[in-house]
Amino acid sequence: MVVVCVLTAVLTTVGLAWTRDSINSTGWLALVAVAFVILIGLLDPWVRNTASTNPSTQAQLAVAARALAVGMTSQLRAESEIRELVPPCQLSLTWSGTDLPVADSEADRAGLPGSLDKLIPWFRRLADRRVVVLGPAGSGKSSFALLLALGLLEDSGPDDQLPLLLSLGSWNPAIDLRTWMAARLREDYPALRNTELYGSYAADLLVDRRRVLPILDAFDELPAELRVAALRGIDKAVPPATPIVLTSRRREYTSTVARAGALRNACVVELAPVKQDTLATVLRGSSTGLGAARWEPVLLHLHQEPRGPVAATLSSPLMIWLARTRYADLTTNPTELLDSRRFPNQAVIEEYLLDQLLPAVFPDGDADHLPATTNQWSPESARSWLVFLASRMRHGELPWWELRRLVHRYWLTLLGAIALGLLTALSVTVMATMASPMSGLNVASLTGLCAGGLVSLRSVISAFTKGRDASASLRLGAAHSLFVVSLVSGTAVGLVFGALFGVNFGLVSGISVAIATALRFALGSPAELSQPPDPEVMMGRDRALVGLVVLVFAVGVGSAAALLFGGGRTGTVWLGFGTGALLGFVLSVMSRNWWWFTVARAWLAMRGRLPYRLLEFLSDARQLGVLRQVGTRYQFRNARVREHLARQAVSVGKRR
């Protein structure tokens, strides 16, 4: 489709240059327009496969589930390696039934103990496979959820449910849980919109037909006033005989159960503290030689004082990771933690380890013990950026397309809309003046101002539209067909401009708009579902679409200028190319997430809040273990890390 669009644009331009004296230009343009309509008619999936507008069949859902499993497995495996959840650094989490009155009395096997090496068999033995995992902050609940999802994917059969790992922090219980899950599937895997391969409503049907096993992490991160409604909503959306996994901090879940009742048929387990022999194995196995020997005095102290503050701190997977990160450099000495005057209790030790995380992963200089990253970021800047993110992240996560929501000033959106409006007004005024010099500057200016006003209004509406409206919508039926929409839009524009400025100008304008519309369809439906979600790839598709539309409009308007004024007036022709590129940019970016992301990051970068190369920084922070990726969204590795950094932002604000 892209090749057809570019070829049509080239033929339009080349044909106009060659047909001034030999072939009638109107006939040539009409021939190109007809050929383009025929080609997109042959290529349009709606024309070739009308069944794609029907709900997905069982076979299509099976194909989608298999492709999703491949993409999810790749992402979760990479995430587990980055978070060191694989040997030799893997902590062997253990759990057992809880003595709290939060389990449904009808749930069986609630007291089964378990460990990571038997996680999948343990889960499959549960009668209803409905589990609630409790534990304090940093006890490994998210790791448990990730490893369970990965294990189920790697050990799945063709008829098994697809484990879908989601963080509940962004869910509003006023929305049905199944509706929210389907929306998240569409956001993270936009290739599900490929109706030719997977039919229509593939994400919704995967959820509604119980082809998805919800693994819902971080129930405790929901606002306190929403937890009762959330637990009832979960119980309603996922009936008692349907598998589900829910993780939460202990106090938040028990207080909710006291008011809303327990999750029906759920087996409730609690994660146990890390045992000393497990800790010793991990600390020794993650280093060699001198690196491992540095931990021996600490391990001896833990054996002598198993109830001391150091032992209490290092019983948490989060704190173990923080300690290993802090002392990964061979020039550091972990025995400093044994200084009772400096570290009198567990709280002081934990705050120290949290404080030392960013200096350890963003050192001032080279560090061979850290994983390779794309850039070496300044320690001061990295801390400032992450503190800002921690204080501004909505629901504890950052979808790249919602970066503008970190800017609490509506005038930034208005500024972007006004900028697009002015660019539109300028380009349309120039085009109108070139097309009909006799009509006068006033008429051309009025036309430009009207067009600019409409674009500004449309961009404001687009900016405040919730979600990824330009990337997550379904394409169904004739009203959203590549063939129909391209034909109608091109014909409408061609008729208007043809009536105002002549047949040839109308043909060029119509072809340009039709090509731009077809390009938007061609690049708006990624077909590769088995690839793991990547924010940079998704943003790259938006950027590529903008570039191609700019090229098409530049060629179209430049061709019109050459047609009207002749190839000898080089300056006017180049003015036409520039004006077309400007108009193409405006029309392509006003509904694309890339534009608003770029505006927001440029503004935040100018203020020093975030780097301009934000996605590179987020990717590096994830590689270093500070952040994690869930679908296409970035989150801090642990809520305690985010809360710790957010408190620093509050303290800085008070000092100012």
Domain coordinates of the chain in residue numbers?
2-43+408-591, 61-271, 277-315+329-369, 382-406+604-655
Residue 314 has pLDDT above 80, yes or no: yes
Q: How far apart are CA 102 and CA 141, in angstroms?
A: 17
| 414-443 average pLDDT score | 69
Report the half-sphere exposure of 363 (CA within 13 A, side-chain side).
17
| 80-95 average pLDDT score | 83
Q: Helices (H) and strands (E) in the chain — how many of each?
A: 28, 10
Which residue in this structure is represented by tokens 């090749």? 3
| 402-407 average pLDDT score | 80
| 182-193 average pLDDT score | 87
Q: pLDDT category, 183, cuts 50, 70, 90? A: very high
Residue 186 has pLDDT above 80, yes or no: yes
Judge whether 406 and 385 are in contact, CB under 8 Å. no
Share of the chain above pLDDT 90, in %: 37
* Residue, of 5 and 599, whose pLDDT is higher: 599
Q: How far apart are CA 544 and CA 559, in angstroms?
A: 23
Q: What's 468's DSSP letter?
A: -
| 551-569 average pLDDT score | 65
Q: How far apart are CA 562 and CA 577, in angstroms?
A: 10
Token pair for 317: 């997977």
Q: pLDDT category, 537, cuts 50, 70, 90? A: confident
Residue 478 has pLDDT above 50, yes or no: no
Q: How far apart are CA 639 and CA 641, in angstroms?
A: 5
Q: How far apart are CA 145 and CA 166, in angstroms?
A: 9
Token pair for 512: 């340009």
Average model confidence (pLDDT) across the chain? 80
Greatest mean pLDDT among 28-42, 186-200, 548-562: 186-200
- The pLDDT tens digits for 118-169 are 899 999 988 889 999 999 999 999 999 999 999 999 988 777 899 999 999 8
| 250-261 average pLDDT score | 92
Cβ neighbours of residue 232 closer than 8 Å, sequence gap 6 or more: 173, 260, 261
CA dihedral 325, 326, 332, 338 (to 10 degrees): -120
The 3-class SS string of 529-548 reads CCCCCCHHHHHHHHHHHHHH
Secondary element (H or E) of residue 584:
helix 570-589
Q: How far apart are CA 559 and CA 225, in angstroms?
A: 61
Q: How far apart are CA 46 and CA 53, in angstroms?
A: 8
Token pair for 570: 């080089």
Residue 391 has pLDDT above 80, yes or no: yes
* Residue, of 367 and 63, whose pLDDT is higher: 63
Share of the chain above pLDDT 70, in %: 77
According to the model, what pLDDT value does residue 479 have? Answer: 44
Q: How far apart are CA 634 and CA 619, in angstroms?
A: 9
Q: How far apart are CA 32 and CA 504, in angstroms?
A: 12
Question: What residues does 399 pair with on adjacent strands?
Answer: 633
According to the model, what pLDDT value does residue 173 have? Answer: 94
Residue 471 has pLDDT above 60, yes or no: no
Q: Packing angle between helix 25-43 and helix 503-523, nearest 10 degrees? A: 20
According to the model, what pLDDT value does residue 644 have? Answer: 93
Spatial CA neighbour of 140 closest among 326, 264, 275? 275
| Spacing of C-alpha 488 from chain mean position | 33
Judge whether 295 and 330 are in contact, CB under 8 Å. no
Residue 598 has pLDDT above 80, yes or no: yes
Residue 4 has pLDDT above 90, yes or no: no
Q: How far apart are CA 341 and CA 537, in angstroms?
A: 51
Regarding the domain delimited by 382-406+604-655, which CATH topology (the fold level of the hierarchy) does it fall under?
Arc Repressor Mutant, subunit A (1.10.10)
* Residue, of 175 and 519, whose pLDDT is higher: 175
Q: How far apart are CA 604 and CA 396, in angstroms?
A: 19
Q: pLDDT category, 575, cuts 50, 70, 90? A: confident
Backbone phi and psi for residue 629, each to the nearest 5 degrees, phi listed first:
-115, 125
According to the model, what pLDDT value does residue 47 have? Answer: 45
Q: Is 158 exposed, middle or buried (0-12, 13-18, 19+ CB in 10 A)?
A: exposed
- In Å, the largest CA–CA distance within the chain is 98
Domain covering 61-271 in this structure, CATH number: 3.40.50
Q: How far apart are CA 299 and CA 277, in angstroms?
A: 9
Token pair for 278: 């497990």
pTM over 0.85: no
Q: How far apart are CA 639 and CA 118, in angstroms?
A: 27
According to the model, what pLDDT value does residue 563 have? Answer: 61
Judge whether 206 and 61 are in contact, CB under 8 Å. yes
Judge whether 391 and 646 are in contact, CB under 8 Å. yes
| Spacing of C-alpha 415 from chain mean position | 25
Lowest mean pLDDT among 38-47, 251-260, 484-493, 536-545: 38-47
180 SS3 class: helix
Q: How far apart are CA 182 and CA 178, in angstroms?
A: 6
According to the model, what pLDDT value does residue 419 have? Answer: 78
